[in-house]
Amino acid sequence: MTLRLSWLAQVRKFAIIDRVMQADCFDLLRAGKHRTMGTKLVRYNVQFVGRVQGVGFRYTTTQIARRYDVAGYVKNLSDGSVELVVEGATSEVHSFSDELNQDMKDYIQTVYQHEHPANGEFTKFELRFE
């Protein structure tokens, strides 16, 4: 026996589906994932060593991050280095990293960088304090 939904039941069913889809889309937009859907996401854990504290390194990093679809944080470490954790699409993270290294090259002596799969821990990029 085939069950036929009334016209009103069908409209309600599609209205519910539509609300769920809109909510999912808004969640993706808020998380900044709308531009990276379908691409490989990566996570870089980076430590910058050199004269990287007291020179605007974290501020510059945060400003550059705003131009890219990346999330994570930057913070000073007690040993005088700066820690950066960044996630995003591979191309976005590489472009962000290239610009940061270019802008701050006069202050960076050594970079320790490790690539990992992204885990979606972050929804924005922020400056953190130790």
**Residue extents of the structural domains in the chain:** 1-31, 41-127
Angle at 71 between CA 78 and CA 103, to 5 degrees: 65
Quick check: is 76 catalytic?
A: yes
pLDDT at 40: 87
Instruction: At 52, list the tokens.
Output: 């990287």
Identified catalytic residue from 19, 51, 76, 128:
76
Quick check: is 58 catalytic?
A: yes
Please tell me the pTM assigned to this model. 0.71
Identified catalytic residue from 4, 45, 51, 58:
58
Query: pLDDT tens per residue, the chain (130 residues)?
Result: 444 545 445 545 554 444 444 444 445 444 554 454 567 899 999 999 999 999 999 999 999 999 999 999 999 999 999 999 999 999 999 999 999 999 999 999 999 999 999 999 999 999 998 7
CATH fold group of domain 41-127: Alpha-Beta Plaits (3.30.70)
